[in-house]
Structure formats: structure tokens, C-alpha cells
Amino acid sequence: MKVKPEYKTLVIITGPTAVGKTETSINIAQQLKAEIISADARQFYRELKIGTAAPTPAELAVVKHHLTGQLSIYDYYNASLFENQALSLINNLFTKNDYVLVSGGSGLYLDALCCGIDELPDIDAKIRLKTKTLYNNQGLAGLRAFLELNDPEYYAEVDIANPNRMMRGIEIFMATGQKYSAMRKRIPVQRDFQIKKIILNRPRKELFERINLRTSKMVQQGIIEEAIHFFPQKHLNALNTVGYKELFHWLENRTTLNDALEKIRTNTRRYAKRQLTWFKKYDDAQWFLPSETKAMLDYIIS
């Protein structure tokens, strides 16, 4: 299928974890003769294969992917770097095709690409230390309590299992006295291409069953061995994510293996719920079942 649009078109395909973004994106990309840019922050790291559900070599061979496995777990990366890198890729790809796909479920990165990144103040080292001390002394519970009290809007949408995201909001509040949620952009930047956003979803029971099955599949593929291998690097931000941190707790003798695996399922389901909450704010998006490929294509070319 090749339909020339009036404008160059960036197609965003997102949705909660395990919904089927990779398969659907490859299918749509094939129809449009387009290439895919990853917007899955977990899949940027080349060393992490199993716990991030990265596309397989066979899937990567079907359609060319960009930014998948581009980083080392030791590399620093943020939404601003992603915005600049993705825009450069998009402009290059538009010289070859009228469509480019972006696929992934990292809402912060998608927002940076579609709306621009916020220009926020630099944070004094003393404030960073104060925030880090709060985390070291009180853990995630302390960060959550601070945010819920001082910036409930940001607390409602942030990944409350990610200390770095929460600490960013706390640092902004400590530095400025203003809520992080209130300082973010109200007027998005204007891109010189049109954006079509597609959000994939499934019935809740079906989605949760897929999450449970994915966890079991990861065990079969070797996520336990992968976690053991990377245990010495557990302090790295790239490994502070669902799937690894629960197994690190097991390796630290803080829980049993069975309980760690059940915690992965539970935390992944919670993460999917938070993703869906984030995506509900996209009033310019269309929601589809992954099976509704024809309807998606009709929407893209309309």
C-alpha cells in the first residue's frame, strides 16, 4: 500500500506494555513502505534483550528499525537527547518516504517528540543532594509522599516506580517553589509534518493475560540468567526497571524467586495501567484494537 499524503506524516503507534505494538507497527510499516523509530526507553540499551522484550533479529529484518539497541547501559540519555536524535532521523527518512513510524510506550519521550521538551532550570548540586538523601532515607515511599503532597498532578501521571522521574519533579519544586506539572509546556511546538497518533488497547483481562504469558516466556528465554549477569550493575538507571529490579531483590535474598516473578507480573500490570492513564490525555489520538489494521491505515491516510 502506498498512498501519497498531502503532508509528510509521522505515525505514532503506542499503547501499554504487552499490547502488541511491535507486531502491529511492523505490519503497518510494511503497508506504508516505512521505517520504524523506537520510542521505548527500555529497548534503547543493546545489552538488555530479554527483560525489555526487544524486537527479535527476525522482526528487525522485516522492517528497518532505528534507535533500538543504540545505547549501552552505561550511557546517559534523556528525553531532550531523544527529541533531537529522533527529529534528525525523521527529517532524513522523509527524504525517502512520505511516512515514518514511531513505535513505543514511553510517554515522556513521545511527548518530547510531538510537543517539544520543556526548558527547565538547572538544579543546584545541593538540591540534588537533598533529593537523593530523601530517597536514600525514605525510599520510594518518601518520594511518593513528597510529590503527592506538593505536586499531586504530576504524582497522578508519573511512573511511581521510577525514582529518577519522581526526583526530577521534586528537584524542580525545591528549586523554584513551583509545581513541575505547572511549569511544563502548555503550547506545543509546531512540527513541519503532520502527526497521526494511534493508541493500541485490548480488553483489560486479555491484556493482563498477555502480561502474565510474557513473563513466563521471558523466564523460558533466560531473564533470570540475564539478571544474574547484570546484578553487579544493578545501580545503573537502565536496570532500574520492572523485570530486573524484582530479580535483583531475589539475588539480594530479600524475597523468593517465585515471589519475585509474581512481583514482575504485578508491577507490569500496574505499569500498563499508568501508561493507559498517560495516553488518555492524548485528545488528538485514535484508539484501536491491534487487529484493526485496515481501520488504522484508513485513519493514517485520511
For residue 267, what is the domain's CATH number?
1.10.287.890
Quick one: cell of 47?
545489552
Q: 222-259 burial string, b = 16+ CB within 10 Å, else e?
A: ebbebbeebeeebeeebbebbbbbbbbbbeeeebeeee
Domain of 37 in residue numbering reads as 9-118+188-203+279-301
Residues 67 and 84 placed together within one structural domain of the fold: yes
Residues 138 and 222 placed together within one structural domain of the fold: no
Residues 91 and 228 placed together within one structural domain of the fold: no
Residues 294 and 270 placed together within one structural domain of the fold: no
CA distance 227 to 44: 17
- pTM for this predicted structure: 0.82
User: In the predicted model, is pLDDT for residue 284 greater than 90?
Assistant: yes
How many domains does the chain contain in total?
3
Please tell me the predicted confidence (pLDDT) of residue 3: 54
Please tell me the predicted confidence (pLDDT) of residue 29: 98
Residues 73 and 21 placed together within one structural domain of the fold: yes
Residues 178 and 270 placed together within one structural domain of the fold: no
Please tell me the predicted confidence (pLDDT) of residue 4: 63
Residues 172 and 242 placed together within one structural domain of the fold: no
Residues 258 and 285 placed together within one structural domain of the fold: no
**Any domain includes 1:** no
The rounded radius of gyration (Å) of the Cα atoms in the chain is 19
Residues 210 and 266 placed together within one structural domain of the fold: yes
First to last CA, the chain: 14
Please tell me the predicted confidence (pLDDT) of residue 1: 47
**Any domain includes 4:** no
Residues 162 and 296 placed together within one structural domain of the fold: no
CA distance 250 to 244: 10
For residue 20, what is the domain's CATH number?
3.40.50.300
CA distance 240 to 261: 16
User: In the predicted model, is pLDDT for residue 99 greater than 90?
Assistant: yes
Which band of pLDDT confidence, cut at 50, 70 and 90, is reported for residue 255? very high
Sequence-distant (≥ 6) Cβ neighbours of residue 149 within 8 angstroms: none
